[in-house]
Amino acid sequence: MEGPALLRLWALAAPCVAAALALGVARAAVPEHRVLPELRVSAETGAVFVHELEREPFLEAFAGREEDDAPVTFRAHLWDHPDLPRWLRFVQRDGGQPGFLYGCPLAAELGTHRLQVLAYNRRTFATVSQSLVISVTPAPGGDAPFRAEFVVGDRNVEELLPEAARELFLRGSAGVWGRGDLHVINVTSALDRGGRVPLPIEGRREGVYVLVGSHSPFSPCLLAAVSPQSRSRCHRGQRPLASCYDTFAPHFSIRWCNLTLQEVRPGPTAPGPVWGSGVLEEGAGFEPPSAAAPRDVLPAFLVTLLVPLAVAALLCLLLGHLMCCRREGLEKRDLQTSDLQLFHHSSIAGDTRELRAMAGSRDVRRPLSTLPMFAVRPGQRRDPAGSAPLLPR
């Protein structure tokens, strides 16, 4: 008895359960998407460009429903393309850290690059997008010819990208170089140069290559660190020759054995694009030219319209005069012809008319002599015996 009753209950309940499930699935399948206002930044050729993707603006845009420390991951790609431009790289350690877009644009990258940045909330799967426009301008002083690449052993790449860390690094390199006009050209993770992922032990880092450029020659200290004696000491596992105090200590531990110095001779640089007067300054708004002063176009209009009309009217008059007033009519012809001739002519015309009238009223048969077979041509002879009768019998 109980079996069929249960079955009936289940049959009633099943559609409700299915509807509730479907509703829940539909809710979860459509996460929110918001768009932040466009952001414009600028970069210079020959210097490192770093854009930090901070989590806060994106967290605010996630409607603030979740607590503020939701993990956020970023993705970035060229607008309408799947990947980043060649010179730009992206790094984010984990959802609790900011992301960094960084790279060094060269002369080939002059112009604007439009990226789309997508932020995912890892709790709600909501997304926020922002378009980022990077305008790359030429470096005012040209490329730095003297470059030193330091290998920092105790850092990950994203730890050297914030402005403050780069400033600290430049202060250290200014100490060993003895110059103040240094700037960071490129920052690269050692992993991108074939380095190994460090063991997950506290304090182990990937290592970072930092390329620093200057317009002034290398200091004796740097030259000593790359000298053959120094290199041979490195091969023997000893410390390199140090002729000066390591001003990076204690913030950064530099691997002095891996220091490389490059001197880039400025080759014949291709002339860059020349900015015409139509290019707006950065940040300047477009001011349209004032409205043109109203011009008096009536004289031009009249000349264009009236002169052809007047010429056409003149031609019309001339033609009309020639055809109507200068016409040589019947009277003039008659006046110029002698009376005798006129009389002769009019009598012939009268006779012809009379003959025609008579011919029209006659209804006898036409004489055979008028038929074409009797039309004898001049000089032709006809045999009278074989000739046909002139009149019908």
What residues make contact with ligand NAG under the rule CB under 6 A?
A: 104, 106, 186, 188, 192, 234, 255, 257-258
- Shortest reach from residue 122's CB to ligand NAG, in Å: 29
Judged by CB, which is closer to ligand NAG: 118, or 257? 257
Query: Smaller CB distance to ligand NAG: residue 267 or 278?
Result: 267
**Omega of the bond leading into 289 within 30 degrees of 0 (cis):** no
Residue closer to ligand NAG by CB (options 139, 244) is 139
What is the C-alpha separation between 318 and 88, in angstroms, rounded?
82
| Least separation in angstroms between CB 188 and ligand NAG | 4
Supply the minimum distance, in Å, between the C-beta of residue 189 and ligand NAG. 8
- Identity of the residue, 167 or 192, whose beta carbon is nearer to ligand NAG in the bound complex: 192
Query: Measured from the CB of residue 285, what is the shortest distance to ligand NAG in angstroms?
Result: 33
Q: How far is the CB of 268 from ligand NAG (least distance, A)?
A: 19
Q: Which CB atom, from 104 or from 134, has the smaller least distance to ligand NAG?
A: 104
CB of 194 to ligand NAG, least distance (A): 8
Q: Which of 87, 85, 112 is closest to 273 using CA atoms?
A: 112
> Quick one: 91 or 234, whose CB is closer to ligand NAG?
234
Closest CB 192 distance from ligand NAG, rounded Å? 5
Return the number of the residue (264 or 376) whose C-beta is nearest ligand NAG. Answer: 264
Nearest distance, CB of residue 234 and ligand NAG, angstroms: 5
Nearer to ligand NAG, 106 or 312 (CB): 106
Nearer to ligand NAG, 171 or 255 (CB): 255
Nearest distance from C-beta of residue 102 to ligand NAG, angstroms: 9
* Three state DSSP letters for the chain: CHHHHHHHHHHHHHHHHHHHHHHHHHHHHCCCEEEEEEEEEEEECCCCEEEEECHHHHHHHCCCCCCCCCCEEEEEEECCCCCCCCCEEEECCCCCCCEEEEECCCHHHCEEEEEEEEEEECCCCCEEEEEEEEEEECCCCCCCCEEEEEEECCCCHHHHCCHHHHHHHHHHHHHHHCCCCCEEEEEEEHHHHCCCCCCCCCCCCCCEEEEEEECCCCCHHHHHHCCHHHHHHHHCCCCCCCCCCCCCCCCCCECHHHCEEEECCCCCCCCCCCCCCCCCCCCCCCCCCCCCCCCCCHHHHHHHHHHHHHHHHHHHHHHHHHHHHCCCCHHHHHHHCCHHHHHHHHHHHHHHHHHHHHHHHCCCCCCHHHCHHHCCCCCCCCCCCCCCCCCCC
> For tokens 């600290």, what's the residue?
168
User: How many of the other CB atoms lie within 10 Å of CB of 58?
Assistant: 26
